């Protein structure tokens, strides 16, 4: 078993770290001990997740982490090797996709090329009556309006731009009034600007309909921007499940700290621990450089332990009076609003953000509460 | 969210729909077993069971018989291979029937490659008016009835054929090509060179221009770039063309029957001969030896293919060159002059037989034109006796069998395409089992059906027999459906899985998704498959001639073979009738669909 296995068993509390808004909402979808094995690989490894009604839940991770397989298990396109999938308490593990009341949107739009936009959106209404007792035509018109494509019924899919096609795909998935909307990297094929616009629109639609949504992406920025809660996946299982702010500010593991946003991760030796109420302070060493860190909550750290902490680039400043050190500018990328500077310090690269150009030797530092301890190693 | 209790009717329909695919698979399996595996197994059993005891004696006798295996038989009989090899390289070697069949198949393969590869080069690398048309036409020989082509070749190369006519006008000749190995080889090339060209052109067109440009930018000369980048992507296609040519010409029958005469008989002709002599056991054994060799070659090829196939799809293809040379330099002129010479040869091999067929059907022996041959057909129709072959029943039978074979093979082909393009364990096996009829000659299927189902099934105390007509339909369906699969399966393969999954997620059952999404998208392939199936059925000769012997179920190809025994004229006239009926049917079906993919 990986060293992180112990991490996982430690985090049921985190699995329940629901945004306040959804704490009382009933569970819409749950995975219980779900695994998916292929001939030689384990794509999904003993996953336990709960998604609440109306929640926008995102699975994010690098390619091969099992996020898409997890979505396909929820959709019923794949059968789990082990475990149970429940929709609102009902076991749907063996149920065919067509009987699950789901809507699915794929990365490549997957519009039926031989049907018009209207026929595409209406397709699901062959198998379910439109919600609210309205006619199919009305339902199609309503949904096209919802995705800002009113009056496009008679167009062929190939007459539409990528962004428009994806919105048709969303309208099509929503038409039969599914209980759960599943989106598999729906924006990956679009260019950056369009992606941001559609992101806002998807979030808006989801809010308006209050539909439980599971979203898969490899783009951590997108995950943070759009979600109520995010599961960061690695090697077939979530490493941390939490609202975006928590994922960003308090990554539970080194992997999450590295994967989400720009970050600087340090391994350090603990010299001294001052326990206080609420927060503790630790004096640690990275090489011979001492750092003072603030640790939230209690800690079991003892002098002589090692720990891992991270500091976001924006927490470094040249005005800081604590935790200062001097490095040499290795590279500077001008990004417009800010400049991303890489400092070479003690053989490692430190990333930070500045507004003015830097070169040569630079002294920077960070406040003790600008650091976050991610992983107290217990070897 | 919209939970409404489904009505009973809907529930029944749903459950039927759910099982439709499984039922289709079951039906296909049953048909395959009844129409193919059971009859072929009958043949196999017949060759190893003598008077109730299992024995390999028939095979061993066959292997040791120099008549079949030539000098190789002495090795099977226990002589030292070294001695035999020495004799083999001396001048008076004996090949035997099997040896000769192999020999002519290898020569046919080489000739087909020699004629097919320049065509591929022309079609893949040059742009000219009619390129697309010629490319489409390369499929034509494949569906032309072989007996008709054989008649066309007789009309071209016969003693009084058009070739000698033309040579006579030039003060040359006459040459005698009939009943010679050359005639057979050219006829085989007529069939198989376009196939070689087809698969090679497809591979050539999928070569990515940027790969060659990369090679050139790294310092490779045009020739090196061709050798290092293009050629490796062509080998698998060339080999596939070669392997298929070998298999097809190894099992050659109507062409050799019509063009070869008894001194050039191949295994298949002998199998037919043995059946005529009612020597079923030896016929079956010989047919199985043939099958083993064919399957061996196919297997070797598939092994190679699995290892070597490189596919660069969605690549930017190489730009085509104009046939008109941009400059008159040697580098630009040489390939074009070569292609011009090739064009003349190709015209001779591919166009002359068809033109000769048309010409000879209206040519009077004394010169000038005549309608006598068609008149003969009409006379035969009106005054022919019951046991004589008459044209109208032949046309009617051909159309009926073709329609019936289509009705069976089209759904079968579609079901097998669905089953073999979805990913699951054992898919390859199903693919092989379903495609086996492609490698098994019509003769074997014919004998099997004759000795099996036509003779009767034992079902408890009942004996079920099927009629000759049903057996012919079965044999035709078996011959047709692999072509349906070959044209339909690529379409299924090309459908994005997410289309199907979207339909499923929206509430469509597997069968509904097949009907609503997949079939409309692969429809051009289905239509092309239907056109193929029709043409194959109309031209089918090997099994039909066995099953139709002594019955009124004869088809147009069988009628041609009967006529050819007497005089060429009526046979060419009947050949033209077959050509016209097949072409019209082919065009009608093709008009129903758009462009097609696949083989």
Instruction: Pick one of 2.40.50.140, 3.40.50.2300, 2.30.300.10, 2.30.30.90 as the CATH number of A264-377.
Output: 2.40.50.140
User: pLDDT per residue over B300-330, tens digit each?
Assistant: 777 776 666 555 555 677 778 888 888 788 8
pLDDT at A74: 96
How many beta carbons lie within 10 A of that of residue B324, not counting itself? Answer: 9
Evaluate whether the domain defined by B27-43+371-599 bears CATH number 1.10.3720.10.
yes
Residues of B in contact with A76 (CB under 8 A): 504
Residues of B in contact with A173 (CB under 8 A): 502, 505-506
CB contact under 8 A, B506 and A108: no
| A6-27 per-position pLDDT tens digit | 343 434 444 445 555 677 788 9
Kindly indicate whether the domain formed by B98-278+291-309+317-369 is annotated with CATH number 1.10.3720.10: yes
Closest CA–CA distance from residue A115 to any residue of chain B (Å):
9
Asked whether A168 and A186 are in contact (CB, 8 A), the reply is no
Residue B530 is predicted with a pLDDT of 87
Q: How far apart are the first and last CA of chain A?
A: 16
User: What's the mean pLDDT when you consider all of chain B?
Assistant: 80
**In degrees rounded to 5, what are phi and psi of residue B204?**
-65, -40
Task: Give the mutation candidate from A87, A127, A157 for the B interface (greatest B CB count, under 10 A).
Answer: A127
- B103 burial type by CB count under 10 A (0-12 exposed, 13-18 middle, 19+ buried): middle
Q: How confident is the model at residue A132 (pLDDT cuts 50, 70, 90)?
A: confident
pLDDT over 90 (residue A343): yes
Vertex A303 angle, CA A302 and A304, to 5°: 110
Nearest to residue B315, comparing CAs of B205, B226, B198, B197?
A: B205
Instruction: Give the tokens for residue A75.
Output: 């959709």
Give the whole-angstrom CA distance, residue B62 versus residue B275: 16
Q: Rounded to a whole number, what is the distance in Å from the CA of B521 to chain A's nearest CA?
A: 7
pLDDT value of position B447: 81
Residues of CATH 1.10.3720.10 domain(s) within chain B? 27-43+371-599, 98-278+291-309+317-369
Question: Distance from A74 to chain B by nearest Cα, in Å?
Answer: 11
Give the CATH number of domain A4-254: 3.40.50.300
Q: Where are the domains of chain A?
A: 4-254, 264-377
User: Helical H runs in B145-180?
Assistant: 146-157, 162-169
ipTM: 0.81
Asked if residue A76 has pLDDT above 80, the reply is yes
Contact present, A296 and A330 (Cβ < 8 Å): no
CA distance B347 to B358: 16
Search chain B and give the residue with CA nearest A112. B499
What is the pLDDT confidence band of residue B598, given thresholds at 50, 70 and 90? Answer: very low
Buried b vs exposed e over A55-70: b needs ≥16 C-beta within 10 Å? bbbbbbbeeebbbbbb
CA dihedral B588, B592, B597, B599 (to 10 degrees): -30
pLDDT at B108 over 90: yes
Task: Take residue A328 and report the two structure tokens written for it.
Answer: 């040499």
The yes-or-no verdict on residue A91 having pLDDT over 50 is: yes
Q: To the nearest whole number, what is the mean pLDDT of chain A? A: 88
Residues B389-393, mean pLDDT to the nearest whole number: 82
* Residue B79 pLDDT grade (very low, low, confident, very high; cuts 50, 70, 90): confident
Please list the residues that pair with B369 across neighbouring strands: B363
Model confidence at B21: pLDDT above 80: no
Question: Given this model, what pLDDT does residue B596 score?
Answer: 44
A243 band by pLDDT with thresholds 50, 70 and 90: very high
Q: What is the largest CA-CA distance in chain B?
A: 90
* Whole-number Å distance between alpha carbons of B160 and A251: 92
If pLDDT is split at 50, 70 and 90, which confidence band does B69 have? confident
Give the whole-angstrom CA distance, residue B32 versus residue B38.
Answer: 8
pLDDT of residue B18: 62
Q: What is the pLDDT of residue B16?
A: 67
Q: Do B505 and A128 touch (CB under 8 A)?
A: no
What are the distances in angstroms from CA B498 to CA A61, B492, B505? Answer: 21, 13, 10
Nearest to A229 by CA among A50, A30, A12, A83: A50
Portion 62-121 of A in contact with B at CB < 8 A: 75-77, 96-104, 106-108, 110, 112-114
pLDDT of A4 above 60 = no
Q: What is the C-alpha to C-alpha distance for residues A90 and A30, in angstroms, rounded to an integer?
A: 10
Between B502, B507, B520, which is nearest A106 by CB?
Answer: B502
Pick B506's closest partner by Cβ from A76, A127, A182. A127
Q: In this predicted model, what pLDDT tens digit does every residue of B264-278 receive, in sequence order?
A: 778 888 888 887 787
Q: How many residues does chain B have?
A: 599
pLDDT at B347: 86
How much is the average pLDDT of A130-153? 92
- Alpha carbon of residue B353 to chain centroid: 19
Structure tokens at B157: 């190369």
pLDDT digits (tens, 9 = 90+) for B398-430: 999 999 999 999 999 998 888 877 766 666 677
Q: Which two tokens stand for residue A94?
A: 């063996």
Question: Once rounded to an integer, what is the mean pLDDT over residues B250-277?
Answer: 79
- Least confident piece of the model among B116-130, B137-151, B423-437: B423-437
* A126/B503 Cβ within 8 A: no
C-alpha closest to that of B535 among B572, B575, B489, B480:
B480
| Yes or no, beta carbons of A101 and B1 under 8 Å apart | yes
**C-alpha Rg value of chain B to the nearest Å:** 26
- Among B502, B511, B513, B593, pick the best mutation site for testing chain A contact (most A Cβ within 10 A): B502
User: In B373-461, which ranges are E strands?
Assistant: 457-459
> SS3 string of B437-473?
HHCCCHHHHHHHHHHCCCCCEEECCEEECCCHHHHHH
Query: Which residues of A fall within a CB distance of 8 Å from B7?
Result: none
What average pLDDT does this structure show over A266-274?
Answer: 90
Here the tokens at position B368 are 């000038």
Question: Is the dihedral angle over the CA atoms A129, A134, A140, A144 positive or is it negative?
Answer: negative
What is the chain B residue with the closest CA to A175? Answer: B506
User: Considering CB atoms only, which of A107, A127, A178 is closest to B508?
Assistant: A127
Burial category of B25 from C-beta neighbours within 10 Å (exposed 0-12, middle 13-18, buried 19 and up): middle
| Per-residue pLDDT reduced to its tens digit, B511-553 | 889 889 999 998 888 888 888 888 889 888 888 888 887 777 8
| pLDDT of the residue at A1 | 32
Using a 10 angstrom Cβ sphere, with 0-12 exposed, 13-18 middle and 19 or more buried, the burial of residue B275 is buried
pLDDT on residue B1:
41
Beta strands in chain A (DSSP E): 27-37, 42-52, 56-60, 82-87, 90-91, 102-105, 180-184, 212-217, 229-234, 237-242, 264-274, 279-286, 289-296, 306-311, 325-334, 339-345, 348-354, 361-364, 371-377
| Rounded Cα–Cα distance for residues B375 and B366 (Å) | 17
> How far does the CA of residue A87 sit from the closest CA of chain B (Å)?
12
Q: What average pLDDT does range B378-382 have in this prediction? A: 79
**Residues in chain A, total:** 379
Q: How far apart are CA B371 and CA B61, in angstroms?
A: 52
How large is the average pLDDT for residues A327-338?
Answer: 89
Q: What is the pLDDT of residue A14?
A: 44
Residue among B1, B508, B509 whose CB faces A177 most closely: B1
């Amino acid at each position: 078993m990986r060293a992180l296995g112990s991490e996982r068993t430690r985090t049921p509390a985190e699995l329940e770290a629901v945004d306040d808004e959804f704490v009382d909402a009933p569970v819409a979808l749950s995975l219980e001990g779900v695994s998916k094995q292929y001939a030689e690989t384990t794509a999904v490894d003993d996953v336990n997740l709960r998604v609440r009604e109306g929640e926008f839940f995102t699975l994010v991770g690098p390619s091969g982490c099992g996020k898409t397989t997890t979505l396909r298990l929820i959709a019923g396109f794949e059968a789990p090797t082990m475990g149970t999938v429940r929709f609102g308490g009902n076991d749907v593990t063996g149920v065919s996709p067509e009987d699950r009341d789901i809507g699915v949107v794929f990365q490549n739009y997957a519009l039926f090329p031989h049907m018009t936009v209207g026929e595409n959106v209406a397709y699901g209404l062959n198998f379910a009556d439109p919600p609210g007792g309205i006619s199919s035509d009305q339902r199609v018109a309503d949904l096209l309006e919802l995705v800002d494509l009113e009056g496009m019924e008679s167009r062929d899919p190939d007459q539409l731009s990528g962004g428009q096609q994806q919105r048709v795909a969303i309208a099509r998935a929503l038409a039969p009034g599914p209980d759960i909307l599943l989106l598999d990297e729906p924006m990956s094929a679009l260019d950056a600007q369009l992606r941001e616009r559609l992101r806002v629109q998807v979030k808006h639609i989801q809010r308006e309909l209050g539909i439980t949504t599971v979203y898969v992406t490899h783009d951590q920025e997108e995950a943070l921007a759009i979600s109520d809660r995010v599961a960061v996946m690695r090697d077939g299982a979530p490493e941390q499940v939490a609202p975006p702010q928590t994922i960003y500010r308090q990554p539970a593991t080194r992997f999450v700290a590295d994967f989400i946003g720009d970050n600087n991760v340090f391994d350090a030796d603990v010299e001294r621990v001052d326990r206080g109420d609420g927060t503790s302070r630790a004096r640690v060493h990275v090489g011979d450089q001492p750092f003072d860190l603030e640790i939230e909550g209690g800690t079991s750290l003892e002098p002589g332990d090692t720990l891992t902490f991270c500091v976001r680039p924006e927490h470094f400043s040249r005005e800081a009076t604590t935790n200062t050190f001097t490095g040499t500018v290795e590279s500077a990328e001008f990004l417009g609003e800010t400049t991303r500077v890489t400092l070479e310090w003690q053989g490692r690269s430190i990333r930070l953000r500045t507004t003015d150009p830097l070169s040569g030797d630079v002294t920077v530092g960070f406040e003790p509460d600008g650091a976050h301890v991610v992983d107290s190693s217990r070897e | 969210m919209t939970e409404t209790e489904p009505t009973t009717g809907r529930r029944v329909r749903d459950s039927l729909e759910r099982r439709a695919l499984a039922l289709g698979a079951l039906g296909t399996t049953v048909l395959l077993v009844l129409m193919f595996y059971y009859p072929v197994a009958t043949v196999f059993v017949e060759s190893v069971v003598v008077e109730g005891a299992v024995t390999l004696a028939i095979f061993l006798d066959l292997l040791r018989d120099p008549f079949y295996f030539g000098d190789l038989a002495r090795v099977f009989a226990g002589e030292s291979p070294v001695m035999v090899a020495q004799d083999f390289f001396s001048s008076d070697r004996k090949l035997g029937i099997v040896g000769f069949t192999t020999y002519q198949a290898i020569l046919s393969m080489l000739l087909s490659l020699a004629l097919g590869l320049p065509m591929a080069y022309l079609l893949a690398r040059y742009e000219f008016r009619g390129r697309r048309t010629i490319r489409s036409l390369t499929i034509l020989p494949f569906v032309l009835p072989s007996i008709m082509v054989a008649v066309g070749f007789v009309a071209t190369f016969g003693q009084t054929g058009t070739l000698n006519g033309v040579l006579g006008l030039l003060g040359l000749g006459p040459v005698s090509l009939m009943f010679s190995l050359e005639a057979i080889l050219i006829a085989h090339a007529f069939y198989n060179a376009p196939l070689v060209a087809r698969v090679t052109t497809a591979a050539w067109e999928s070569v990515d221009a940027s790969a060659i440009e990369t090679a050139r930018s790294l310092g490779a000369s045009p020739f090196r770039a061709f050798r290092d980048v293009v050629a490796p992507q062509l080998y698998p296609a060339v080999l596939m063309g070669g392997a298929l040519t070998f298999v097809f010409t190894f099992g050659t029958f109507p062409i050799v029957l019509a063009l070869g005469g008894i001194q050039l008989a191949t295994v298949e002709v002998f199998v037919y001969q043995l059946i005529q002599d009612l020597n079923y056991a030896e016929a079956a054994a010989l047919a199985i030896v043939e099958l083993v060799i064919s399957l061996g070659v196919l297997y070797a090829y598939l092994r190679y293919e699995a290892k070597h196939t490189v596919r660069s799809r969605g690549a930017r293809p190489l730009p085509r060159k104009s046939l008109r040379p941009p400059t008159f330099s040697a580098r630009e002129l040489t390939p074009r002059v070569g292609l011009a010479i090739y064009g003349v040869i190709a015209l001779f091999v591919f166009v002359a037989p068809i033109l000769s067929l048309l010409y000879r059907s209206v040519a009077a022996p004394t010169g000038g034109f005549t309608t006598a041959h068609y008149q003969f057909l009409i006379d035969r129709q009106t005054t022919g006796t019951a046991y004589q072959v008459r044209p109208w029943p032949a046309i009617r039978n051909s159309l009926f069998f073709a329609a019936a074979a289509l009705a069976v093979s089209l759904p079968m082909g579609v079901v097998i395409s669905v089953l073999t393009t979805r990913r699951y364990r054992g898919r390859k096996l199903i693919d092989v089992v379903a495609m086996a009829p492609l490698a098994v000659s019509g003769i074997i299927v014919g004998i099997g059906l004759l000795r099996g189902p036509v003779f009767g099934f034992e079902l408890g105390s009942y004996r079920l027999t099927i009629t000759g007509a049903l057996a012919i339909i079965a044999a035709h369906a078996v011959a047709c459906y692999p072509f349906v699969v070959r044209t339909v399966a690529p379409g299924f393969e090309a459908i994005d899985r997410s289309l199907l999954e979207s339909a499923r997620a929206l509430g469509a059952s597997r069968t509904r998704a097949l009907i609503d999404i997949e079939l409309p998208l692969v429809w051009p392939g289905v239509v092309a498959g239907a056109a193929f199936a029709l043409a194959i059925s109309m031209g089918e000769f090997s099994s039909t001639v066995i099953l139709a012997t002594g019955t009124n179920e004869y088809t147009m190809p069988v009628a041609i073979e009967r006529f050819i025994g007497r005089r060429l004229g009526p046979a060419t006239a009947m050949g033209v009738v077959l050509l016209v009926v097949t072409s019209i049917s082919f065009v009608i079906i093709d008009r129903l669909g758009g462009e097609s993919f696949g083989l």
